[in-house]
Structure 1
């Protein structure tokens, strides 16, 4: 992926919407955050993947338009610090919040719609930074509703599939 392709996409795309397409949250079967001693020893693991992107063409009253949509899979799982070094299958998940989020961009320069390299570069390098603040707020509010202790996610996290 070239820097020129990425810069071309940045100049041609304008963020217009970020929304949750699907989400789930749950507490572990035997975990009550109010009374469980493990609530004092929590750690978290995150997932952040760009899973799809597409140029969407549609008709509007004032003529045709194109939009670029990027799909991200995000998740936070809360575990006990005692489990951090265990194998994935041996980790007890105390709480889980996951979502599929989509980011929509107006295509300002229609030529970009034909440049797959530029669109891919943009999706992998920029979209996670746009989605992340919305994701942080969602996780914070969901965990609060679940009676979990306050969790502060890092300010920015790159997509795992960003090379």
Structure 2
């Protein structure tokens, strides 16, 4: 990790917005979490990837803006820990939630837009700290709506493509 580049980006960027661009959630066909005994012994896998970033400029005069937008792909797959699998098989996915989230940052020093290494360091090393709490809440509420038992995600998970 390039700390100097990261500090340049931190000094120039202010978190202003986060939103879900796309999401999917589903239960496996024939799986009813309210009545299926497998609901009592669940495990999960997570996905956390920073997939892209861009500087966005727009507006006119007083309404002009310049943002740094970072896109993350997040997901959770839920399995029964008692499912028997071989080395070549994966267990059956009982439930799945995935989302693409955008985090927007106001740019206070426009010179940072020319400093791609600093923006890349920020995207890979800081954005997940901002996105993860919103993702955890989204997963919790979606699982409740799907009638799934509560799953406690870790407080933080570094992106798998982090430096």
1:131-150 aligned at under 5 Å gives the runs 131-150=131-150
Pair 106,88 (structure 1): closer, same or farther in 2 beyond 3 Å:
farther
RMSD over aligned Cα atoms:
1.6
In the alignment, what sits opposite 1:49? 49
In the alignment, what sits opposite 1:91? 91
1:119-138 aligned at under 5 Å gives the runs 119-138=119-138
Q: Structure 2 length as normaliser, TM-score?
A: 0.95
Q: Is residue 6 of structure 1 aligned with residue 15 of structure 2?
A: no
Q: SS state of the match for residue 18, structure 2?
A: strand
Provide, for residues 23-44 of structure 1, a one-character-per-residue CA deviation record: whole Å limited to 9, x for no partner. 0000001211011110011001
Distance in 1 between residues matched to 2:97 and 2:86, nearest whole Å: 21
Pair 147,37 (structure 1): closer, same or farther in 2 beyond 3 Å:
same
Q: Which runs of 5+ in 2 are unaligned?
A: none
Segments ≥4 residues shifted beyond 6 Å: none
In the alignment, what sits opposite 1:28? 28
Pair 87,130 (structure 1): closer, same or farther in 2 beyond 3 Å:
farther
Q: Is residue 162 of structure 1 aligned with residue 162 of structure 2?
A: yes
Q: SS state of the match for residue 59, structure 2?
A: strand
Pair 143,84 (structure 1): closer, same or farther in 2 beyond 3 Å:
farther
> How far does residue 66 in structure 1 lie from its aligned partner after superposition?
1.2
> How far does residue 59 in structure 1 lie from its aligned partner after superposition?
2.0
Q: Is residue 118 of structure 1 aligned with residue 154 of structure 2?
A: no
Aligned length: 163
Pair 14,72 (structure 1): closer, same or farther in 2 beyond 3 Å:
same
Q: SS state of the match for residue 64, structure 2?
A: strand
Q: Which runs of 5+ in 1 are unaligned?
A: none
> How far does residue 80 in structure 1 lie from its aligned partner after superposition?
0.7
Distance in 2 between residues matched to 1:93 and 1:121, nearest whole Å: 34
Pair 87,105 (structure 1): closer, same or farther in 2 beyond 3 Å:
farther
Provide, for residues 2-55 of structure 1, a one-character-per-residue CA deviation record: whole Å limited to 9, x for no partner. 110000000100000000000000000121101111001100100000000000
